[in-house]
Chain A
Amino acid sequence: SQELEQSPQSLIVQEGKNLTINCTSSKTLYGLYWYKQKYGEGLIFLMMLQKGGEEKSHEKITAKLDEKKQQSSLHITASQPSHAGIYLCGADLSLSNFGNEKLTFGTGTRLTIIP
């Protein structure tokens, strides 16, 4: 089974609407990273969360890590066409190797924005 599950797999929303993407693990997330990917392009780093209960925002995107550090959510407010793409969460699942070992990636969420 997948170590990091993302939901939903696909999301179609009307421009201007809010949306949330979730990333869930059965293991403790010692570092949780959110990335965005547009078609034909590489991953772009969005945010990193490390502490339980931590929340970060950048423009209209807010990411949270729950207190148990097993789930993260990415929330987009007033979505725009530029938000369209694939959102991937990545995580360090080992405390001893934080930042030094290959990430475990989520399954990805494809976001489509309808004008």
Chain B
Amino acid sequence: GAVVSQHPSWVICKSGTSVKIECRSLDFQATTMFWYRQFPKQSLMLMATSNEGSKATYEQGVEKDKFLINHASLTLSTLTVTSAHPEDSSFYICSVSRGDTDTQYFGPGTRLTVL
């Protein structure tokens, strides 16, 4: 069965609104979760690393105030796209890592379309 779930699987929103995406680890407590954005030519781009109970670590060029990450529990991390614009339209994917292994389990992704 699925190890990681994301909700919603797709969302359409108006420009200027905020959207929250959830990533849940279903099989184990995930000490670390990763958020990726998918681009056509580069495919997955790591946005940030989310550690439970601490602030997320953002990759260079990713606006932390625009992409808010909250890793409130060992099974849930959320990504909030604030004041979304059409250029934020993309496929957002999370992955989870258990901590005792470096295997990553990927979520099914969330397609965001900003009108």
Contact = CB atoms under 8 A, between A and B. Distances in A.
Interface of A: 31, 33, 35, 37-45, 48, 86, 90, 92, 98-103, 105, 108
Contacts, number: 58
Nearest to A91: B43
Interface residues of B, number: 24
Contact of A90 (B44, B46, B103): B44
Contact of B44 (A33, A41, A86): A33
A102 B91 contact: yes
Nearest to B99: A40
B91 A45 contact: no
A113 B62 CA distance: 32
B91 A44 contact: no
A46 B97 CA distance: 21
A11 to B, nearest CB: 15
